[in-house]
Structure 1
């Protein structure tokens, strides 16, 4: 899918993912989904070299899929409205995920209206080693209530109704994490609870 590759190239060229880290998937109208292959940089994605999986996340065609396929399967399984999933190892989001005093139920404050509208409450998932299937189970436990999750010492995983929605939410999360880190040591004035609630109506 050309659009998936274009978005992957864009994320990579802007430094939102590095080396062969991160992965993207899109649910197909006819069933199943496509995902980026393992050990391929997003800047090198080729529409003819994407992995095809069935509805259960079983690899059925194309190159070997990312070893983090279970993250995507967990999001799709919990969210029937999800049309795409973006998982990044973006610098500022990862930095926030290792801070000791963040609230795991809602990691980032409502700094901007766009963060509230595109991300909402961001849940922190405890650390699991890379490739550990237990991480998929932990994600599945919160994905029904949160379309964006932050994996401790790892990065964000974000579902959207379509590929652009997932991309934009992941980018908004990263920018808000950057703002949050820039504001450390300063008194801040986040949106009030009523202001944030009004944006969700």
Structure 2
């Protein structure tokens, strides 16, 4: 049996990215550290130097994507707290992030097990959604929208942004127009 070469570089991140690719293509039921190692062309024991087990790798995959996503979202609204353009820029950053990384959208919303509770706004929620909610609510407050209308308008805005993202990250959906033209948020509130 031919021995796998020693791996140079950032193996931890390569294992994470390979794991995302494999879960997206094959599903979680056939996912294994051995398959991730094969995808990275390293020995089947190499992943164990970074992850105790498959659950730890899946958790790291979620953290890896969420961290990048949060950085992008935070940067988009920096210094715009309470201003209406924060909603548009946040929505654009949300969509742009997943257009650049469509594999992350599929992994996060179909395989990672994240929970976004639209009925319980006091509950801890997935951090990017919590940031979206707090940004939108701050704009709603500064615009004078009645607080009782916040949840419905939040769901409308998030559905629009998330829906556009779902369409644009789906290989089977074609759109020749500019998606930014669809993200006209001024008429929502």
Band the TM-score falls in, shorter-chain normalisation:
under 0.3
TM-score, normalising length from structure 2?
0.25
Which structure's CA Rg is the greater one?
2
TM-score, normalising length from structure 1?
0.24
More helix by share: 2
More strand by share: 1
